[in-house]
Amino acid sequence: MRNLVIIGSGCAGNTAAIYAARAQLEPLVVTGHEPGGQLSLTTLVENFPGFPDGIDGPVLVENMRKQAEKFGAEYRSGVVEEADLSKRPFRLRVDGDWIETRALIIASGASTRWLGLPSEQKLIGHGVSSCATCDGFFFRDKKIMVVGGGDSAMEEAIFLTRFGSEVVIVHRRNQFRASKIMLERAQRNPKIRFITPAVIDEVFDVDKGYVTGVRLRNVETGETWTRQVDGLFIAIGHIPNTAVFRGQIELDADGYIVSKGGARTSVPGVFHAGDVQDRVYRQAITAAAAGCMAAIEAERFLEAESH
């Protein structure tokens, strides 16, 4: 029986682990299917306070883990396959083993939403990317396409103009979800062009093993055409990693955990931290802060229970 299990090893989970370990809770961190979380996919992080010259994302998150381990946090690689939060102790199945815990912090993050085309999936890492910061550099003077109509798409497109010879934003509607300021910034950028209302039906060239182009379709007229592309960036949002908790804690329509104030979820003893609940800020520093809050609340919950 554990005092506290933390699901996820990104900024939120690791920070929760540091606080919980220092509070002598001997937390168990289940690393999840993307150990290190989003930071492990980035390069230089320049906006995490305390590092005036920036710090590599993977180094930052690894340092957090070392810090947590120094105070007694235990890490186990694996994924939660099933959960029973209907009564305490909570039960979690991790790679076939059932683990019991008095309290739980869900810091399982949110994963990239992909278009879901077989050709797209086969070319991930070979010209298809979800992270401009990570992969933009590989497309110097190349033709870049970004899919999406939200702030992420605008932000990624603007960032990618540093590298690409052209950046084309493809969006399925003529209206944009992006904030006015971000949209206008993208529209003003001479390197950015827009294709709307259009979707990608296929990514070429699976046989060659790298991206050479896409087949586009105008969703109003049905017209299709191909366009040469070297780098395809998908920026159509994220999917919170909450599938195993569906029906057990309150989630919103998109699957994000609904906060009940502070780090509390609808189930007493289960707390949230980071992108699994936050669809707005999604920063390393806000995830770290959320991890801290969740650990403090878990500690108080366990303390109150023991009296």
Distance CA 158, CA 300 (A): 44
Comparing CA positions, the residue from 48, 44, 51, 43 lying closest to residue 14 is 48
Per annotation, catalytic residue among 84, 131, 201, 205: 131
Catalytic residue among 11, 135, 230, 292: 135
Interface with ligand NAP, residue 155, by CB under 6 A: yes
Q: Which helix H or strand E contains 3, and what residues bound it?
A: strand 2-7
Residue 76 is a binding residue for ligand NAP (CB under 6 A)? no
Contact 154, 178 (CB under 8 A): yes
Among the listed residues 56, 84, 134, 151, the single catalytic one is: 134
Q: Reply yes or no on whether 292 is catalytic.
A: no
Which range in 2-10, 203-211, 241-249, 279-287 contacts ligand NAP by CB under 6 A? Answer: 279-287
> From the CB of 1, what's the least distance to ligand NAP, in Å?
38
Q: Which residue is nearest to ligand NAP (CB)?
A: 150
201 binds ligand NAP (CB under 6 A): no
Residue 53 burial (C-beta neighbours within 10 Å; 0-12, 13-18, 19+) = exposed
Interacting residues of 21 by C-beta distance below 8 A, sequence separation 6+: 27, 68, 69, 71, 72, 73
Classified as helix, coil or strand, 5 is strand
- Check residue 215 for interaction with ligand NAP (CB under 6 A): no
Q: Is 240 in the site for ligand NAP (CB under 6 A)?
A: no
What's the farthest any 2 CA atoms get from each other in the chain? Answer: 69
Using rule CB under 6 A, residue 148 touches ligand NAP = yes
Which of 74, 151, 166, 201 touches ligand NAP (CB under 6 A)?
151
* Residues near ligand NAP, by CB under 6 A: 115, 147-153, 155, 172-173, 177, 199, 236-237, 279-280, 282
